[in-house]
């Protein structure tokens, strides 16, 4: 009965009188590809070499351990998505759990910062890769970056159905690129000791379990992206079922691909070479398939980068839309276009924010800072589910998990924050602190009210 009430209230929230609702078009397959595309875009392409330098041939094992750690938070997101299918995502559930508009506001803008810096970064990466194919200087790259953002904005404005089909195409291409690595390198399987680790002096420790755990801290970030799924809840058909199925399936498929690619990479190229290679997978392809023109993998990279930017743009716009309906952001950001059924004011506002970010060049430290903020968000969301599960008057969803899962999720995410703060670039921590102070300042200026719509 509680579940039925939650569904009905969710529908009421999505289609309140006087405004059009978002268009419900996403099914389980599209949701799976949406989450998978977000994870694959910036995961193994960038982390494999660094992880191999830490763990050696056992890098595949580090990915498995990282999967277990990431799955704790992913299960919490899946459960929350089945309970509260709102576009506000993390902002909605944290405000509800902690009964504080401030908590929802800080968490929501932290996620938005992560998404927007990702879009800006990917626009620069896309422009740089395209420039290498077409020729041109820095001025050309800047124009290409802005042009890429304009095309992205037009696509997201066009509609969620069109955005999802482009996502499906890009995800299939980027996953195909990774499967191509496995296909050309699988004949090398069995040629190396998959448990070989760096000898004492080269690794952080001579104890294998410690090495694997260190590698897992790094490879954990290859799974970040699953959190994007909850923000398109109001555009899902049967979201209480679609979100858990899509999210967990995406994690499972990503894990299989990551492990297969990791085994292939260390079988074809030594882990030392992978660690020093500017493009680890490019090095693998050059040795396993020298007949393949390098331009093919550059093109695949373009699709992967574009997909990551698309998913983050959709996520940020739906987050702003959801926060507007919570009363945490100005109400006009929650308006929906009567024909296209997209939050057009939120989309255009985000373009005005992300375009200047794309023009400042490298924003690596800002991206690192937002990773710290995202881990803090994960800890807060796990804590929110713990509190909500302990309240008797909260509706249950179709996908429920034991209480110990969000507790372990809090511990893992808090531990990762501690590791990043104590071992990472101190400037990233300072920037993260500055961003949080900025969010508090915006909150003080806007003074958002409590949600005016009844909670589900």
Q: What is the mean pLDDT of residues 319-335?
A: 89
Which pLDDT does position 366 carry in this prediction? 65
Which pLDDT does position 172 carry in this prediction? 92
What is the DSSP annotation of 122-137? HHHHHHHHHHHHH---
* Distance set, CA 406 to CA 78, 113, 231 (Å): 11, 24, 19
Confidence of residue 340 (pLDDT cuts 50, 70, 90): confident
Residue 13 in any domain: the answer is: no
Which pLDDT does position 207 carry in this prediction? 63
* Distance set, CA 181 to CA 96, 197, 218, 284, 288 (Å): 45, 23, 22, 7, 8
Residue 5 in any domain: the answer is: no
Which pLDDT does position 136 carry in this prediction? 67
Per-residue pLDDT tens over the stretch 400-426: 999 999 999 999 999 888 887 887 667
Which pLDDT does position 89 carry in this prediction? 81
Which range has the top average pLDDT, 35-44, 253-262, 358-367?
A: 253-262
Q: What is the mean pLDDT of residues 42-55?
A: 77
Residue 15 in any domain: the answer is: no
Burial status of residue 444 (CB atoms within 10 A of its CB: 0-12, 13-18, 19 or more): exposed
- 3 state DSSP class of 237: coil
* Distance set, CA 190 to CA 54, 186, 195, 256 (Å): 21, 9, 12, 18
Which pLDDT does position 47 carry in this prediction? 76
How many domains are there within the chain? 1
Residue 250 in any domain: the answer is: yes
Per-residue pLDDT tens over the stretch 240-252: 899 999 999 999 9
**For residue 287, pLDDT beyond 50:** yes
Contact 115, 313 (CB under 8 A): yes
Per-residue pLDDT tens over the stretch 83-97: 998 887 889 999 999
Residue whose C-alpha is closest to residue 218's, from 75, 414, 416, 76: 416
Residue whose C-alpha is closest to residue 284's, from 312, 256, 261, 265: 265
CATH code at position 112: 1.20.1740.10
**For residue 10, pLDDT beyond 60:** no
**For residue 283, pLDDT beyond 80:** yes
Which pLDDT does position 3 carry in this prediction? 43
Element housing 70 (H / E)? helix 59-83
Q: Which domain holds residue 207?
A: 23-446
Q: How far apart are CA 376 and CA 385, in angstroms?
A: 15
The mean of the pLDDT values for the chain is: 84
More confident residue, 347 or 221: 347
Q: How far apart are CA 190 and CA 301, in angstroms?
A: 28
Q: Which two tokens stand for residue 254?
A: 């990503």
Confidence of residue 367 (pLDDT cuts 50, 70, 90): low
- 3 state DSSP class of 26: strand
Q: How far apart are CA 236 and CA 232, in angstroms?
A: 7
- 3 state DSSP class of 203: strand
DSSP secondary structure letter of residue 236? B
Phi then psi for 376, rounded to 5 degrees? -65, -40
More confident residue, 313 or 449: 313
């Amino acid at each position: 009965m509680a579940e039925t009430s939650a569904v009905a209230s969710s529908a009421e929230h999505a289609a309140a009188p006087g405004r059009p609702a978002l268009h419900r078009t996403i099914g389980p397959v599209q949701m799976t590809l949406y989450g998978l595309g977000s994870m694959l875009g910036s995961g193994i392409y960038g982390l494999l070499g660094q992880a191999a330098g830490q763990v050696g041939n056992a890098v595949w094992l580090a990915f498995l351990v990282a999967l277990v750690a990431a799955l704790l938070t992913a299960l919490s997101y899946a459960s929350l998505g089945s309970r509260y299918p709102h576009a506000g995502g993390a902002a909605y559930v944290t405000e509800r759990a902690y009964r504080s508009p401030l908590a929802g506001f800080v968490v929501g803008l932290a996620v938005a910062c992560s998404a927007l810096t990702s879009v800006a970064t990917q626009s620069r990466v896309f422009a740089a890769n395209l420039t290498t194919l077409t020729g041109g200087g820095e001025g050309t790259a800047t124009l290409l970056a802005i042009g890429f953002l304009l095309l992205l904005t037009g696509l997201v404005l066009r509609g969620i159905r069109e955005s999802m089909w482009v996502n499906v195409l890009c995800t299939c291409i980027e996953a195909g690129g990774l499967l191509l690595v496995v296909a050309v390198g699988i004949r090398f399987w069995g040629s190396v000791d998959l448990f070989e680790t760096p000898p004492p002096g080269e690794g952080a420790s001579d104890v294998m379990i410690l090495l694997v755990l260190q590698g897992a801290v790094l490879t954990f970030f290859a799974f970040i992206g699953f959190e994007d799924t909850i923000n398109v809840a109001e555009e899902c058909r049967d979201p209480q079922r679609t979100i858990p199925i899509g999210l967990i399936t995406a994690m499972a498929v990503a894990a299989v691909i990551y492990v297969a690619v990791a085994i292939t990479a260390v079988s074809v190229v030594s882990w030392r070479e992978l660690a020093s290679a500017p493009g680890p997978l490019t090095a693998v392809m050059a040795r396993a398939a020298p007949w393949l023109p390098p331009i093919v993998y550059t093109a695949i990279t373009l699709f992967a980068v574009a997909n990551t930017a698309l998913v983050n743009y959709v996520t940020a716009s739906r987050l702003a839309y959801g926060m507007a309906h919570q009363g945490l952001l100005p109400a006009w950001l929650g308006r929906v276009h009567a024909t296209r059924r997209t939050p057009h004011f939120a989309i255009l506002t985000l373009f005005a924010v992300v375009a200047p970010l794309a023009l400042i060049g490298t924003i690596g430290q800002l991206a690192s800072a937002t990773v710290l903020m995202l881990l803090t968000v994960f800890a807060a969301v796990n804590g929110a589910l713990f509190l909500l599960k302990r309240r008797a008057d909260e509706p249950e969803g179709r996908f429920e998990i034991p209480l110990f899962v969000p507790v372990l999720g809090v511990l893992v995410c808090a531990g990762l924050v501690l590791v990043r703060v104590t071992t990472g670039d101190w400037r990233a921590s300072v920037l993260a602190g500055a961003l949080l102070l900025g969010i508090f300042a915006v909150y003080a200026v806007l003074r958002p009210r409590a949600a005016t719509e009844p909670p589900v």
